Amino acid sequence: MQKFITEQNFNTLIDRLIGAGKRVVAPKLNAGTVLYEPLSGSGEMVLDQLPRRSGKEAFFPLCEDIVSYEKEGQKVKLTDIDPALFPETLLVAVRPCDTAAIPVLDAVFSWDYKDQFFLERRNKTTIIGLACTSSDDACFCTAVGISPDDRRGSDLFMTQLEGGGYLCETHSEKGEALLTAHAELFTEPNSQKAKPLAKPEVEKVDLQKVKAWLDNNFEDPAWDSIATRCVGCGACAFVCPACHCFDIVDEGTEKSGKRRKNWDACGFWKFTHHASGHNPRDGQPKRYRNRIMHKFKYYDDKFGQTLCTGCGRCIRLCPVGIDIAEIVGDISRKN
Amino acid sequence: MHPEKQKHDFEPKIIAFVCTWCTYAGADLAGTSRMQYPSNVRVLKFPCTGRIDPVFILKAFQQGADGVLVSGCHPGDCHYIAGNFHARRRFATFRKLLEFVGVDLQRLQFSWVSAAEGGKWVEMVTDLTERVRGMGPMVEFKELAMEEQWSGAINTEELKEAYEAI
Amino acid sequence: MTMIDTTSYTLISEAIKTEAKRILTDGTVTAVVGYAAARRKGSVQPIVITTPEDADKLLFSKGAVNNLAVYLTKAKKEIPKTGRIGIVVKGCDLKALVGLMGESQLKRENLYLIGIPCSGVLGSIIQPDTELTEDTIAPKCLECDVHMPTGCDFIPQGAPITPELEKKYAAEIARLEALTPAERWSYWKEQFSKCIKCYACRQVCPFCFCEQCLCDRNKPQMVESTPRPAGNFAWHVIRAMHLAGRCAGCAECERVCPMDIPLNLLNRKMAKELKELYDHEAGLEINEKGPLSMFNEKDDQSFIK
């Protein structure tokens, strides 16, 4: 289904949903930084900047409680978090590099174990994607096979038009339901041209070639030259739309506390540190190798997909300028 | 006979980090001398003020303290010769940091109380307790402890009730 | 808008290449830690070279923001610590090296210092292809007193050009100090709430070389490891405290923060207080003891009853 909506009506739609008690999450300025956060009004939306963190947060929170405990005498009372109580959410103005990662994440969270936390939040979220009209030299979505108007992962996809307003296209029942429920705000599509798409000026990478090289070069001196500079923070993984490792921690006092699920990153030395003191990944090159291997080989082996959508966040934010696009490009040119 | 205990609306929780050689002995003297002081104070004994890490003070506030008292030997009296001199610099710096991040320093008291100063201990505890009582509960850290990142927060009423019922 | 003249960086780059080639060839050093160009226009990466042929990769530019001293600490096991190591340092980085020498982490005789006559670098390399102006220059450069490092083994020719510009940290600290405690609390609460505990601030800090950080320990757990507002607040307060009197002011923590938390404000505030209290300042003189590992019997104790 294709419909047209004016900017004003789009804002009305957002405000109406917020008014109805729905959690509407969109790029918003928070203490000087654009992040996906719940809005209190449509005026807070910032549509011209890629948020610093990705949209995965809506289903895979930075941290969430999974169970709480309380000790009463000799007994311990456990209370599960009921996923049925997660709020209905509308995730708005999500760039294609973020939406495209969502089906990729679905694969792992509904694989051998069905992650109720992820899946329930996912079910309760409607995603409105927005075609991308601005890019910089860190963007490389087209290199990994994603386009600035990729519909993957969007329930409703919006394209900004030259003369203002958006062309809306539904891609799922959720999207159609949203459009139908507020039909009066939409009109039939007109012949207006879409704003030109952002086109990252990058060469397409042959991901099969990258994988073929990774298959055979687990031990290669290149890893040292690539990642000796890595300082071992988690910035790349935490801003990535596709990284999904987490850690389970128990926090609280002996009387009561919570078991929590927190983001984790393979760059941390602690990530593979054994209780014995042994660490199988005993240096940053090995840890960074895992990042590349997981994204371009292991995930492909298991799910037939690549764990990178080319958003470029890790390139922009790496403290030491490690450039995944350059690394993958170099690998693809090796024999 | 104990005098009738006055009833208050708010009983602050005061954590006292004390050194074992001076202030702890001073508090003990206050006890054996049957001096009265507010029971709001929970005393934690350390070998020396030099062992009292600023992180303990922060942790105390985070775990619900309304006021914190840190007390040890007078300068020159340290059992370990210089522990309290080091501690003095550390605390002087830490309070500046706490002040900068917005903690009201009225809730944090440092003192030197010797083993002979049972009366001074009583005075310190009473002063801080009354001052903090006047200020009310330390809500900042308690509110902070309740806050969640938006993504992990569950705002539904049912769960709020469930949490409160715990 | 004042532009910062960085034309001298081209000649400086050439001099670094020549010197690195020389010291690697004659065996003065086993490795050189420096800067090299990366893919994006204007972007720079740290690099460790061990052969004279690789010396041509070295350069210095407005994007050479990193404090390379971090690679010489024991926290970075990947860098060989055998023999003498050459390192390219700006004045601010040199202060960090001096601090590490004071803390017995490094020995001067094991280093070959290539000092940079530095006019300033960018405050952020998120978009490295940016002109260096009074707006884009790192705020630390506006307060820099070591544009021309001293005591190095080699310094390329060049005179740093440093126009007098407004000092941003001093003004911001004064603004925050003038607020009420409640206002300051809400300012920092908002800032710290953005924290995602990626620990980039810790990992790039030359002084965060602990084998295991207090905040990574869970028995006992002094700081909540969860990136919730409470745990974030504790982490940043402890970080600032552990760096008080040690921080050399390279401001890498602030530059690398993916959430733009003004972390160096805390470090600068602590530096200011330690200057007032104990007349301590990070500098180029090696001191065996920092202000918080020594004392004076006459230290101020007006805050102690």
Contacts of B139 in chain C (CB under 8 A): none
Under the banding of pLDDT at 50, 70 and 90, the label for residue B156 is: low
Within-domain flag for C229: yes
How many domains, in total, are found in chain C? Answer: 2
C109 & C173 share domain: no
Within-domain flag for C181: yes
Contact of A29 with chain C, judged by CB distance below 8 Å, is answered with no
- Domain of residue A251: give its range: 2-332
Size of interface B-C (CB pairs under 8 A): 119
Interface contact flag, A316 C226, Cβ < 8 Å: no
Under the banding of pLDDT at 50, 70 and 90, the label for residue B163 is: very low
Q: What pLDDT digit, counting tens, does each position of B100-124 carry?
A: 999 999 999 999 999 999 999 999 9
With residue B68 as reference, give the H or E element that holds it.
Answer: strand B67-72
Contact of B152 with chain A, judged by CB distance below 8 Å, is answered with yes
Q: What does each of the 335 residues of chain A score in pLDDT, given as a tens digit?
A: 899 999 999 999 999 999 998 999 999 999 889 999 999 999 999 998 999 999 999 999 999 999 999 998 889 999 998 888 889 999 999 999 999 999 999 999 999 999 999 999 999 999 999 999 999 999 999 999 999 999 999 999 999 999 899 999 999 999 999 999 999 999 998 888 999 999 888 999 999 999 999 999 999 999 999 999 999 999 999 999 999 999 999 988 888 899 999 999 999 999 999 999 899 999 999 999 999 999 999 999 999 999 999 999 999 999 999 999 999 999 999 87
Q: How far apart are CA B58 and CA B98, in angstroms?
A: 9
C-alpha angle with apex C120: A225 to C61, nearest 5 degrees? 35
C135 & C202 share domain: no
C16 & C119 share domain: yes
Q: What is the mean pLDDT of residues B10-14?
A: 94
How many domains, in total, are found in chain A? Answer: 1
Interface contact flag, C241 B86, Cβ < 8 Å: no
Interface contact flag, A262 C256, Cβ < 8 Å: no
pLDDT reported for residue B160: 57
pLDDT reported for residue A286: 95
Contact call for residues B20 and B46 (beta carbons, < 8 A): yes
Contacts of A58 in chain B (CB under 8 A): 151
Alpha carbon separation from A2 to A148, A169, A187, A319, C284 (Å, rounded)? 19, 5, 9, 43, 67
Within-domain flag for C161: no
- Domain of residue C269: give its range: 168-278
List alpha helices for B41-105, DSSP H. 54-62, 83-100
Is residue B166 over pLDDT 50?
no
Contacts of C221 in chain A (CB under 8 A): 251
C49 & C130 share domain: yes
C51 & C110 share domain: yes
Contact of B91 with chain C, judged by CB distance below 8 Å, is answered with yes
Within-domain flag for C243: yes
Please name the residue of chain C whose CA is at the shortest distance from the CA of residue B138: C182
Cβ within 8 Å of residue A75, ≥6 positions away: none
Among C residues 239-268, those touching chain A with beta carbons less than 8 Å apart: 252, 255-256, 258-260
Interface contact flag, A79 B166, Cβ < 8 Å: yes
Please name the residue of chain C whose CA is at the shortest distance from the CA of residue A51: C259
Within-domain flag for C158: no
C138 & C185 share domain: no
Q: What percent of chain B has pLDDT over 70?
A: 90
Name the CATH topology of B14-165. Answer: Rossmann fold (3.40.50)
Interface contact flag, A233 C199, Cβ < 8 Å: yes
Within-domain flag for C107: yes
Contact of B58 with chain C, judged by CB distance below 8 Å, is answered with yes
Q: How far apart are CA A54 and CA A35, in angstroms?
A: 8
Contact of A48 with chain C, judged by CB distance below 8 Å, is answered with no
A9: tokens are 């009506």
Residue B123: closest CA among B33, B61, B20, B38: B38
DSSP-assigned letters across all residues of chain C: -PBPP-THHHHHHHHHHHHHHHHHHTTS-SEEEEEEE-SSTT-EEEEEE-SGGGGGGEE--TT----GGGGGSTT-TTS--SS-EEEEE-HHHHHHHHHHHHTTS--GGGEEEEE------BS--SS-S---BTTTB-HHHHT-S-SS--S-SB--S----------HHHHHHHHHHTS-HHHHHHHHHHHHHT-----HHHHT-TT---SS-GGG--TT-SS--S-SHHHHHHHHHHHHHHHTTT-----HHHHH-TT---HHHHHHHHHHHHHHHH-----SS--SS-TTS---TT---TTB-
Contact of A286 with chain C, judged by CB distance below 8 Å, is answered with no
Distance from CA of C215 to the nearest CA of B (A): 11
For chain B, domain boundaries: 14-165
C78 & C191 share domain: no
Q: What is the mean pLDDT of residues B18-38?
A: 95
Q: ipTM for the complex?
A: 0.94
Distance from CA of B158 to the nearest CA of C (A): 22
Residue A130: closest CA among A39, A32, A49: A49
Q: With a cut of 50, list the residues of chain C below it in pLDDT.
A: none
Under the banding of pLDDT at 50, 70 and 90, the label for residue B155 is: low
